[in-house]
Chains A and B, each alone.
Chain A
Amino acid sequence: MSDKENGQGMSRRQFLTYTLMGTGAFMAAGILTPMLRFAVDPALKRTSSAGKVEVGKVDDFGPDYKLVKFKVKIKDGWHEEEAEKSAYIRNKDGKILALSPICKHLGCQVQWNTSPDRPNHFYCPCHNGFYDENGINVPGTPPQAPLDEYEVEVKDGKLLLSLTPKPRGGA
């Protein structure tokens, strides 16, 4: 503050420093803002997942779970493909339940009734996760939430599923 004029306000040197730093910051921001926005674009993009996919006749499903595989069109940047998805579906007491087989712990694929430790449970082999016959996670095993559920719709005797399963409440 040695070259302050009239002993008050901002010194000439400080004013110049601020002006130069401001201009430099403005230019750097002008260069970097588009690049950063470009890089984070996937995180800000909205994905549309409207629509339903047919997985078979309603009569095909009984009280025991059946694993069905179906194709869904996905757009992965410039690459489009038909990705295979699957669901465990049962039709018990007139109520259709379609569960996603993706484990809620860390995303492995669960299997119905394959562990001798707990019959009639969904079993995830990665970290010994269990879900009961309604897809509700068994407390004390790794998963912290029930299996995701597909919305179902019956149309002309055919079963339609929503494209993306939704999380369910409860534990």
Chain B
Amino acid sequence: MFRRIYQWLDERLNIGPLWRDLADHEVPEHVNPAHHFSAFVYCFGGLTFFITVIQILSGMFLTMYYVPDILNAYQSVKYLQNEVAFGVIVRGMHHWGASLVIVMMFLHTLRVFFTGAYKSPREMNWVVGMLLFFVMLGLGFTGYLLPWDQKAYWATQVGVKIAGSVPLIGPYIETFLKGGDVLGAQTLARFFAIHVFFLPGVLLALMGVHFILIRRQGISGPL
């Protein structure tokens, strides 16, 4: 049945080239764990992407209950975690995934570094990867405040103070991050906006560039 539906669509829309361009390409032997088990190190990039997809999905669902407001944020998190079905699972995915995505990204970076895959002509993709790393750290930093509990509050207080210690422009960065003089209502509102709109937008754009460059330049050769 699926085949018939696919053929019907393909006759009219010629969708074959679309997905082939995305998914149908050779995997070289030296990156295929079926040939050399040690090639599993080449999976970390894909795993980072996989967890990112889970983060985006679970985050979207969490915003169905979460409110970024100092009076209600903690209560809404408590409610969605304890009283909504599977709340503890969906928030758990987002919570643990947030740490795991950093771990996977770090392992991916190590593999790229130690296989020398960043070398010419792939320098620009290393740069894009570094930008992705910082965007991901930004997502972790802004997301940490959102439950608005003691840990969130004081961790952000410390983080904002560290940002404020930058020479010359530090105080401006601190005020920009806090959205005012105190760490409070305005901080939570803008951290939420940065966490769910600005950084994910940048993240998706950079991931697009990252993948296009891989397709254009191919996977680097064996050691």
Contacts and interface: CB of A to CB of B under 8 A. Distances in A.
Interface of A: 31-32, 34-35, 37-39, 41, 44, 77-79
A34 B92 CA distance: 11
B84 interface: yes
Contacts of A39: 61, 64
Contact of A34 (B65, B75, B89): B89
B78 A78 contact: yes
Contact of A79 (B58, B61, B72, B89): B72
8 contacts: A31-B54, A34-B89, A35-B61, A37-B85, A37-B86, A77-B65, A77-B76, A78-B75
Contact of A35 (B58, B75, B78): B58
Contacts of B54: 31
A41 B61 contact: no
Q: Is the interface of A mostly helix, strand, loop or mixed?
A: helix
B20 to A, nearest CB: 16
A78 B72 contact: yes
A41 B90 contact: no
A38 B78 contact: no
B119 to A, nearest CB: 34
Contact of B90 (A38, A44, A78, A79): A38
Interface residues of B, number: 19
A31 B72 CA distance: 28
A122 B21 CA distance: 66
B124 interface: no
B9 interface: no
B86 A38 contact: yes
Contacts of B78: 78
A159 to B, nearest CB: 34
B45 interface: no
B79 A32 contact: no
Interface string B39-64: 00000000000000010011001001
Nearest to A80: B75
Nearest to A36: B61
Given A37-B86, A38-B86, A38-B90, 20 more contacts: A31-B54, A31-B93, A32-B57, A34-B89, A34-B90, A34-B93, A35-B57, A35-B61, A38-B80, A38-B87, A38-B89, A39-B61, A41-B86, A44-B85, A77-B76, A78-B72, A78-B75, A78-B76, A78-B78, A79-B72
Contacts of A77: 65, 76, 79
Contact of B85 (A31, A32, A38, A79): A38
A78 B79 contact: yes
Contacts of A34: 86, 89-90, 93
Contact of A38 (B75, B79, B84): B84
A38 B87 CA distance: 6
A31 B54 CA distance: 8
Contacts of A41: 84-87
Contacts of A31: 54, 57, 93
Contacts of B84: 38, 41
Contacts of A35: 57-58, 61, 86, 90
The 8 A-B residue pairs with the shortest CB-CB distance in the complex, in nearest-first order? A78-B79, A78-B75, A34-B86, A34-B89, A38-B86, A35-B61, A41-B85, A38-B90
